[in-house]
A = this chain, B = another copy of it.
Amino acid sequence: MGRTSDARQTLIETAIELMGRRGYTDVGVGELCRQAGVKPGSFYYFFDSKAHLAVAALEANWQYAQDNVLSPAAEADDPVERLDRFVTLMQQAHARTYERTGQVYGCTFGNLSGELLALDPAIQNKLREIFARYYAYFEAILRDIHAQGLADIDDIPRKAKSLFALIEGMQMLAHTHNDPALITALTPDIRALIAA
């Protein structure tokens, strides 16, 4: 693989870090290159534009969330336990970032959606695609909860979106008040929402 693909990977990781913290608009290609230790020529060898890098960074960030939160949580047999594990693992990820940086970054996807109308259409579409993956993930859990008689859920696609909305809102509050414990504090309301 060698040096060049390392540079690509470093640029993606740097974009996740800087854009996760400060958003898309505030972070320029020059700063990304300096921070990553990559020459602008290399940047444009791998990416047509900052938007192109941002799309790759969002996909990599999704993969990170999947490996560290969604997939491990989905291993629980009990579907309600899957939801609990999802929130615990998410809270732990925010707490680790907080310990490392003194800041709750919040959800990169949710944060970027706040800048939606300043973003390239390719980034807007990637965000919508990732939101839809979360809906599908929660739908699968809610279908099992309903099928096992653990809660009576009349509209699973709607409830999955509301669940994602609540989880995004929880992260927005933790981010705004810079308090990772807020996620844990609000966790009982996830069960209240699905009445499980």
Contacts and interface: CB of A to CB of B under 8 A. Distances in A.
Interface of A: 21-23, 25-26, 103, 105-106, 110-118, 124, 127-128, 131, 155, 158-159, 161-162, 164-170, 172-173, 175-177, 182, 185-186, 188-189, 192-195
Nearest to A170: B165
A97 to B, nearest CB: 12
Q: Is the interface of A mostly helix, strand, loop or mixed?
A: helix
Contact of A176 (B22, B113, B189): B113
Contacts of A194: 192
B23 A176 contact: no
A129 to B, nearest CB: 11
- Count copies of this chain in the complex: 2
Given A106-B114, A158-B189, A162-B170, 16 more contacts: A23-B23, A23-B114, A25-B115, A113-B176, A116-B175, A128-B177, A158-B186, A159-B189, A161-B173, A161-B182, A161-B185, A165-B173, A169-B172, A192-B192, A192-B193, A192-B194
Given A26-B118, A195-B195, A113 B161 contact: no
A19 to B, nearest CB: 10
Contact of A118 (B23, B110, B166): B23
